[in-house]
Amino acid sequence: MSDAIEMAAPPWIGAQTEKLLTQQGHAWLLHGPSGLGQYRLALELAKAWLCESPSASGACGQCPSCHAIAVRTHADLCVLMPETTMLELAWPLSEKAQAEIDDKKRKPSREIRVDAMRDAIEFSQRTSARGRGKVVLVYPAEQMNAITANALLKTLEEPPGDVRFVLATESSHQLLPTIRSRCLGHAMVWPSLAAAQQWLVGQGLEAGQAARYLQAAGGRPDDVLALQASGRKAEDWARFPAAMASGDTSFVRDWSVVQLVDALQKLCHDALCVHQGAQPRFFDYQHGKHAPGLASLSQWSVALQKCRKTMEHPFNAGLMQEALVEQARTALNSQH
Ligand SMILES: [Zn+2]
């Protein structure tokens, strides 16, 4: 993931960077569904704001400031993320946090910690080290809890002169309305399928494979890279609906429960679409001999949503997998 992020931004991110740079504003909220590149766009903006010779299209990529961001040591950029996300995207943790984790006092946090927020607020009150202002990048912003969000809110309301904020979220509805109203909103732009496919081919995917992955990821290019990194083959996606309709547990034996639930939600979504005469979005899904009943599909959809909330630590992943596949088989073959 972090390697992909360091590559040149895809054209649709470049276009959005250019547009946002023409506008004033000390706090941006980039929002939209996952996989559209919120983090990438936030980082491009931060780079451009701090760059020593920016152009209309963004940061130069060559100056000491751009270099400092590339090697994660820019004194005027504060990245506020859950520790798990920082590790995934190769950002260094604070010395204190790193020491606590190294000493096994605790695990990396999945939400944005109060300590980290305190550091960020202190950072925003300091003078800029390189004289081009400062940037606080928050991602995913929905990982702030009520305490951290309220702390940030105060700073957003009365920002110290030279600091800018860019918040990126995949779940804007989970943010405090007061946070949303303090920021200029930008809805992430969907790339066209052709542009996304072309970009994925540039990342080394074969064209047919890129198209199949894009379908599986609902057209979101960053989700394609995540799918590919998870080791799922594009071809597996095409065979997934039939395997589930026939209750084939062995097909998903090496999938994690999280991956399985995600794929089943997509399949359920498609079955509901087809039921209502719409095009399926994630698979080439068609009903078998009998269309499954609407009531069963709706119940299945609710059951999967519930499961999603509780699935992080299943007591027995194997049993859970079998139960999920059986639930899918029943729903897809129901008559009611
Ligand atoms: Zn630069």
Q: How far away, in angstroms, is 219 Cα from ligand 1 center? A: 31
**Residue positions counted in the chain:** 336
Residue range 110-167, pLDDT digits in tens: 999 999 999 999 999 998 988 899 999 999 999 999 999 999 998 998 888 789 999 9
Q: How far away, in angstroms, is 107 Cα from ligand 1 center? A: 36
pLDDT of residue 303: 93
The angle formed by the CA atoms of residues 271, 273 and 275, to the nearest 5 degrees, is 70
The angle formed by the CA atoms of residues 231, 200 and 71, to the nearest 5 degrees, is 85
Q: How far away, in angstroms, is 75 Cα from ligand 1 center? A: 15
Instruction: Give the DSSP letter of residue 35.
Output: T
Q: How far away, in angstroms, is 55 Cα from ligand 1 center? A: 9
Reported as a pLDDT band with limits 50, 70 and 90, residue 319 is confident
Q: How far away, in angstroms, is 140 Cα from ligand 1 center? A: 25
Phi, then psi, of 258 in degrees rounded to 5: -60, -45
Q: Which residue has the higher pLDDT, 203 or 289?
A: 203
Return the bridge partners of 136, or none: 78, 165
Q: How far away, in angstroms, is 163 Cα from ligand 1 center? A: 18
Reported as a pLDDT band with limits 50, 70 and 90, residue 5 is very low
Reported as a pLDDT band with limits 50, 70 and 90, residue 4 is very low
How far apart CA 34 and CA 220 sit, in angstroms, is 7
SS3 185: strand
**How far lies 65's CA from each of 47, 60, 62, 83, 93, in Å?**
8, 9, 8, 24, 20
Q: How far away, in angstroms, is 95 Cα from ligand 1 center? A: 27
pLDDT exceeds 60 at position 203? yes
Q: How far away, in angstroms, is 47 Cα from ligand 1 center? A: 7
Closest CA to 136 of 148, 147, 32: 148
Reported as a pLDDT band with limits 50, 70 and 90, residue 87 is very high
pLDDT exceeds 70 at position 2? no
Phi, then psi, of 139 in degrees rounded to 5: -155, 135
Instruction: Give the DSSP letter of residue 173.
Output: G
Q: How far away, in angstroms, is 52 Cα from ligand 1 center? A: 5
Residue range 236-277, pLDDT digits in tens: 888 899 999 999 999 998 888 888 998 999 999 999 999 888
At 195, list the tokens: 């542009």
The pTM assigned to this predicted structure is 0.79
The H or E element spanning position 71 is none
How far apart CA 134 and CA 77 sit, in angstroms, is 6
> Strand locations in 133-279, DSSP E?
134-138, 163-169, 184-187
**How far lies 212's CA from each of 175, 243, 261, 262, 265, in Å?**
33, 17, 19, 17, 18
pLDDT of residue 271: 93
Q: How far away, in angstroms, is 13 Cα from ligand 1 center? A: 17
**How far lies 39's CA from each of 34, 145, 199, 236, 238, in Å?**
10, 19, 17, 29, 30
Amino acid at site 298: S
Q: How far away, in angstroms, is 331 Cα from ligand 1 center? A: 55
How far apart CA 48 and CA 177 sit, in angstroms, is 28
Q: How far away, in angstroms, is 42 Cα from ligand 1 center? A: 16
